[in-house]
Copies of this chain bind each other. A is one copy, B any other.
Amino acid sequence: MGKKTEKVKDEKGITAEKEDDFTDWFTQLMIKAELADYTDVSGCIVFRPASYAIWEKIKEECDIRFKKLGVKNAYFPLFIPEHVLVKEQEHIEGFSPEVAWVTHAGDTKLSERLAVRPTSETIMYESYSKWIRSWRDLPLKLNQWNNVVRWEFKHPVPFLRTREFLWNEGHTVYATKKEAESEKDQIIGIYKEVCEEFLALPSLIGKKSDKEKFAGAEYTISMEFYMPNGKCIQGPDFHHDGQNFAKAYNIKFLNKVGKEEYAYQNTWAITTRMLGVTFAIHSDKKGLILPPRIAVNKVVIVPIFFGDSKEKVLKKAKEVGNSLSELGAIVDEREEYSAGYKFNDWELKGIPLRIEIGPKDLEKDSVVLVRRDNGEKESVKIKDVKKKVEGLLEDIQTSLFKRADKLLRENILRVSSASELKKAIAGKKIAFAPLCRKRGCEDMIKFESVGGKVLNIPEEQPKELGKSKCVICGDKAEYFGYVGKSY
Question: Which residues of A are at the interface with B, using a C-beta cutoff of 8 A?
Answer: 5, 37, 39-41, 44-49, 52-53, 55-56, 72-81, 83-84, 96-107, 113-114, 116, 123, 126-127, 130-131, 136, 142, 146-147, 149, 151, 164, 166, 336
Please name all residues of chain B whose beta carbon is closer than 8 Å to the beta carbon of A48 when the two chains form the complex: 74
Please name all residues of chain B whose beta carbon is closer than 8 Å to the beta carbon of A56 when the two chains form the complex: 73
- Whether the pair B74, A49 counts as a contact (CB closer than 8 A) is yes
Please provide the 5 A-B residue pairs with the shortest distance between their CB atoms, ordered closest to farther: A105-B151, A49-B72, A44-B77, A47-B75, A97-B106
17 contacts between A and B (CB under 8 A): A39-B126, A41-B79, A41-B81, A41-B123, A46-B76, A52-B73, A53-B73, A77-B164, A79-B100, A79-B149, A99-B106, A103-B103, A103-B104, A105-B151, A116-B116, A136-B336, A146-B147
- Whether the pair A166, B105 counts as a contact (CB closer than 8 A) is no
How many copies are assembled? 2
- Whether the pair A102, B101 counts as a contact (CB closer than 8 A) is yes
Contact of A98 among B41, B102, B106 (CB under 8 A): B106
- Whether the pair B77, A39 counts as a contact (CB closer than 8 A) is yes
Q: Given contacts A48-B74, A53-B72, A73-B49, are A105 and B101 in contact (CB under 8 A)?
A: yes
- Whether the pair A98, B103 counts as a contact (CB closer than 8 A) is no
Given A46-B77, A48-B74, A100-B114: 15 more A-B contacts, CB < 8 Å: A37-B127, A39-B77, A40-B126, A41-B77, A44-B77, A46-B75, A52-B73, A78-B147, A79-B100, A96-B106, A97-B107, A98-B106, A100-B105, A103-B104, A136-B336
- Whether the pair B103, A99 counts as a contact (CB closer than 8 A) is no
Write the chain B residue with the least CB distance to A95. Answer: B106
Contact of A164 among B55, B72, B74, B78 (CB under 8 A): B78
Please name all residues of chain B whose beta carbon is closer than 8 Å to the beta carbon of A47 when the two chains form the complex: 74-76
Alpha-carbon distance A126/B41, docked complex (angstroms)? 11
Contact of A39 among B98, B127, B149 (CB under 8 A): B127
Chain A binding site: helix, strand, loop or mixed by DSSP? mixed
- Whether the pair A104, B106 counts as a contact (CB closer than 8 A) is no
Write the chain B residue with the least CB distance to A114. Answer: B41
- Whether the pair A105, B114 counts as a contact (CB closer than 8 A) is no
Write the chain B residue with the least CB distance to A123. Answer: B39
Q: Given contacts A77-B39, A130-B37, are A49 and B151 in contact (CB under 8 A)?
A: no
Quick one: which of A47, A79, A136, A151 has the most chain B CB within 10 A?
A: A79
CB distance from A59 to the nearest CB of B (A): 11
Contact of A5 among B49, B97, B130, B142 (CB under 8 A): B130
